Amino acid sequence: MNLSIFFEPLRDFIDNYSHDVKSVGSSLSIFTQKFPEWRSADIALIGMNEYRGANQNTPTLHPANEVRKKLYRLKKGTGTYKVVDLGNLLPGITLEDTYLRLKEIVENLVSSNTLPIIIGGSHDLDYGQFLGYENLEKVINLVTVDSSIDMTEGADTPQHKKHLHRILMHEPNYLFSLSQLGHQSYLVEPEVTATLEKLHFETIRVGEIHKNVQLAEPVIRQADMLSFDVKAINGQAAPNITESNPFGLTGEEACQLCWYAGLNDHLTSFGIYEYNPEQDLHGTTAMTISVMIWYFLEGFSNRKNEIDFTGKKFVKYAIAFHDNPNKMAFYKSKVSDKWWMEVEGLGKEKLRKIVPCSYDDYIQASNGEVPNRWILTQGRMA
């Protein structure tokens, strides 16, 4: 498929930002005149300038271009990967057209094992990102990072405040799990978190991440798709004039989450949304996003291909409970020291699923307690 018809090239932009041979920009294949060979690439950058879902005017400064100005000047890390920059996706005539256009792009890239990184636009664009998995014949795990949980209902509610509700209600249903990270309780209605709890979805508040950012690692490790709202980051690292957030994630925590995401062998798409350069007077938010992407790329280059649990890379631990003859199985990687656990469904077919977990989950099971992550997974398998 000729994807180039959907994109605006970077002819007038790129010359000033890719001349340093040791920079990230010099290592990319960029759409200036000839469209990059995306099928052989590991990662593809996609710029978005679509804000109708937030009832906002289109920014005069393109958000992805402002991020590129910072990202391309960063020094290339030690990792090995092939990245192409496809330019900026042209919005559709309607917002729904943009969703469908993004769906087609994501579907083609993921089908070719090229991971798209979507930069810019309002958070509802992750609905188009999600639609890209509809024809891939697999259930997926979605992780979203946000200071709120965008499940508000109502005809007058902007799309960027209710996109998660739309994802949950989408038919056909191919969503296995939705995990929410970094939300702040005073920005979320209790009924919303109660709904996620009833659906056996995992949530981790920003305060818990402040105490121990590693709590988020097993959650991100099971994601097929990651959606990151920059408003989850505090105002020091991501200043925003209209919605300053003094209590969000630190810049370091945001980069750590992106490092985890890059390492995840199963992750196949990544979106960073809600960046408006007109509210970023000194380019601080653009710099934060560029470093987040840098850490994601470095994480990607360090993937361990830990997906086959029958091989010699893993040690299997079986735990039996005194009041239950069934054993709970755990797997530890000899390479990365990460943990997974095997969960058996409650149905007649007794389906089994191996999901990421932490060492603490293993210790809890060793002490005769069923880990909450095991309970949540089994509940979704019922």
pLDDT, tens digit (0-9, with 9 covering 90-100), for 361-378: 999 999 989 999 999 999
Minimum mean pLDDT range among 12-16, 146-150, 228-232, 281-285 = 12-16
Picking from 266, 301, 336, the residue at the C-terminal end of a domain is 301
- Structure confidence at residue 153 as a pLDDT band (50, 70, 90): confident
* Mean confidence (pLDDT) of the chain: 93
Residue with tokens 């001349």: 19
Cα–Cα dist 91/373, whole Å = 40
Q: According to the model, what pLDDT value does residue 322 have?
A: 66
Minimum mean pLDDT range among 5-14, 158-167, 341-350 = 341-350
Bridge pairing between strands 140-145 and 203-205: unpaired
- Is 328 found in the same domain as 245? no
Q: Are 382 and 345 in contact (CB under 8 A)?
A: yes
Angle at 221 between CA 237 and CA 108, to 5 degrees: 90
Residue at 306 is within a domain: no
Q: Are 338 and 264 in contact (CB under 8 A)?
A: no
pLDDT at residue 91 tops 90: yes
- Is 257 found in the same domain as 340? no
- Structure confidence at residue 105 as a pLDDT band (50, 70, 90): very high
Q: According to the model, what pLDDT value does residue 368 have?
A: 87
Instruction: Give 134-170 as a DSSP string.
Output: TTS-S-EEEEEE-SS------TTS-GGGTHHHHHHH-
Q: According to the model, what pLDDT value does residue 344 have?
A: 87
Residue at 101 is within a domain: yes
Q: How far apart are the first and last CA of the chain?
A: 39
Q: According to the model, what pLDDT value does residue 275 have?
A: 95
Q: According to the model, what pLDDT value does residue 246 have?
A: 86
Query: What value does the mean pLDDT take over residues 42-47?
Result: 98
Q: Which domain holds residue 76?
A: 3-301
- Is 321 found in the same domain as 190? no
pLDDT tens-digit readout, 108-135:
999 999 999 999 999 999 999 999 999 9
Cα–Cα dist 163/180, whole Å = 13
Minimum mean pLDDT range among 150-154, 247-251, 375-379 = 150-154
- Which is it for the CA torsion 73, 74, 78, 79, positive or negative? negative
Residue at 308 is within a domain: no
Query: What value does the mean pLDDT take over residues 170-198?
Result: 95
Q: Could you tell me how many helices (H) and strands (E) the chain has, helices first?
A: 12, 14
Tokens of 289: 């996003």
- Is 292 found in the same domain as 318? no
pLDDT at residue 59 tops 70: yes
Peptide bond into 172 cis (omega under 30): yes
- Is 353 found in the same domain as 292? no
Q: Are 46 and 86 in contact (CB under 8 A)?
A: yes
Picking from 301, 332, 348, the residue at the C-terminal end of a domain is 301
Range picked from 32-46, 317-331, 334-348 for highest mean pLDDT: 32-46
Percentage of residues of the chain with pLDDT beyond 70 = 95
- Structure confidence at residue 284 as a pLDDT band (50, 70, 90): very high
Query: What value does the mean pLDDT take over residues 40-48?
Result: 98
- Is 221 found in the same domain as 119? yes
- Is 95 found in the same domain as 238? yes
Cα–Cα dist 106/227, whole Å = 13
Strands (E), 232-294: 269-273
Residue at 190 is within a domain: yes
Residue with tokens 């949980």: 149
Minimum mean pLDDT range among 110-114, 141-145, 205-209, 318-322 = 318-322
Strands (E), the chain: 7-8, 29-30, 43-47, 83-89, 115-119, 140-145, 175-183, 203-205, 225-229, 269-273, 314-321, 324-333, 339-344, 352-357
Tokens of 16: 């000033």
Cα–Cα dist 289/64, whole Å = 10
pLDDT at residue 342 tops 70: yes
pLDDT tens-digit readout, 208-248:
999 999 999 999 999 999 999 999 999 999 987 566 678 99
Q: According to the model, what pLDDT value does residue 155 have?
A: 77
